[in-house]
Amino acid sequence: MIPLWDNQEHRRPATVTGLLILANVVVFGYEVALSSQGAGVLEAFVTRHALVPSRLLAGWTDEEQWLTLGSHLFLHGSVAHVLGNCWFLWIFGQSVEDRLGAFRYLLLYVVGGLGAAALQIGVEPSAGIPMIGASGAISGVLGAYFILLPTAWIVALVPWIVPILPVPAFVFLILWFAFQAVNGFGVLMNGTAGAGGVAWWAHAGGFIAGLWLTWWARSNRWVRR
């Protein structure tokens, strides 16, 4: 399912969401510029700033390796990759930022990204494949949406069923999470973890981190009505 919009009204502009999208697009533009200098130049840049579990654990005393926990969130492998991530962030991020406020929302984004990296590293500590993309942090935003707005409606494009269908947010997000989990277990059982170019467990880790942090924030009255 591809989300098109939700039914929530926003009382303030989604400034942080817009800035995060801009940052992802700008960094991808820089990647495109590097590619014009030769594939080796871009590959060296991505390899240096991507998160590589085995490299991070082997060089855990190296500050540059720890910085990849943040830098990998702004790298993307293709136009479809960056546009897909930015689209999900725009659809779900506006409402979550409206409820949490700018600072708490940014904290959620960071914790989602770290939670995503932690679970992916835990599942594949010896992986040498570079991990890039904002999807882990964005999964944290989806987890927050599940806690904050479970009864909202997501208007989604549903291929092979109907062109456009309104879906309750909790149904959309449960199906989304189940898809990540099924694929994650599938690649583990087949002994192909890390294959296919998708870090399924990072998505699940970000979602769980977003759930936990937002539940905690709401329990401590950090959430706006």
Computed over every residue of the chain, the mean pLDDT equals 90
pTM: 0.92
Kindly report, residue by residue over 170-189, the tens digit of the pLDDT: 999 999 999 998 888 877 67
11 by DSSP, 3-state: which?
coil
pLDDT level of residue 221 (50, 70, 90 thresholds): confident
pLDDT tops 80 at residue 60: no
pLDDT tops 90 at residue 220: no
Domains and CATH numbers, the chain: 2-219 (1.20.1540.10)
For residue 124, give the amino acid letter. E
Cα dihedral: 190, 195, 196, 197 (round 10) = 150
Say how far apart CA 27 and CA 73 lie, in whole Å.
Answer: 10
pLDDT tops 60 at residue 194: no
157 within 8 A of 89, measured Cβ to Cβ: no
